[in-house]
């Protein structure tokens, strides 16, 4: 019985200490923007004319231009909001755009890249997703 208690305590500790904690993080535009700025990127607004999907994101949206590419990051206030943003991009994309190559979702943040992103650019932007 004592062995069961130790195993149960270890399991609870692992669950509470980050065994999947990042999958529940809600990112915010202000915290992400601050990190991107600190990383040396200029954070730009998203206009309704340039991207009406991002402009309607419940948690706001921003644009940055890492290394000759451009990414629009849209934030949902919930995971479901992010799913809705992703679905809107799927619905309204141009027929000649391969979305799986340029549309990425992480938790409540949806990233739409202008060109296929390098892994370094993905790491830079996703590393700055903050809550």
pLDDT confidence of residue 34: 98
Q: How far apart are the first and last CA of the chain?
A: 40
In a domain, 77, yes or no: yes
Q: How far is CA 51 from the centre of its chain?
A: 17
In a domain, 118, yes or no: yes
pLDDT confidence of residue 9: 35
pTM of the model: 0.80
pLDDT confidence of residue 1: 43
| Residue 92 domain boundaries | 23-127
Number of domains present in the structure of the chain: 1
Low-confidence ranges of the chain (pLDDT < 70): 1-22, 94-97
pLDDT confidence of residue 99: 79
């Amino acid at each position: 019985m004592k062995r069961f208690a130790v195993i149960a305590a270890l399991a609870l500790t692992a669950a509470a200490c980050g065994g999947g904690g990042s999958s529940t993080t809600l990112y915010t535009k202000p915290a992400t923007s601050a990190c991107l700025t600190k990383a040396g990127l200029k954070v730009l607004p998203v206009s309704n004319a340039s991207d009406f999907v991002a402009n309607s994101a419940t948690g706001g949206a921003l644009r940055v231009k890492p290394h000759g590419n451009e990414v629009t990051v849209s934030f949902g206030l919930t995971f479901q909001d992010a799913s809705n943003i992703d679905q809107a991009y799927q619905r309204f994309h141009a027929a000649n755009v391969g979305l799986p190559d340029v549309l990425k979702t992480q938790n409540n943040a949806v990233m739409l890249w202008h060109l296929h992103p390098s892994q370094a650019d993905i790491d830079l932007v996703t590393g700055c997703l903050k809550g």
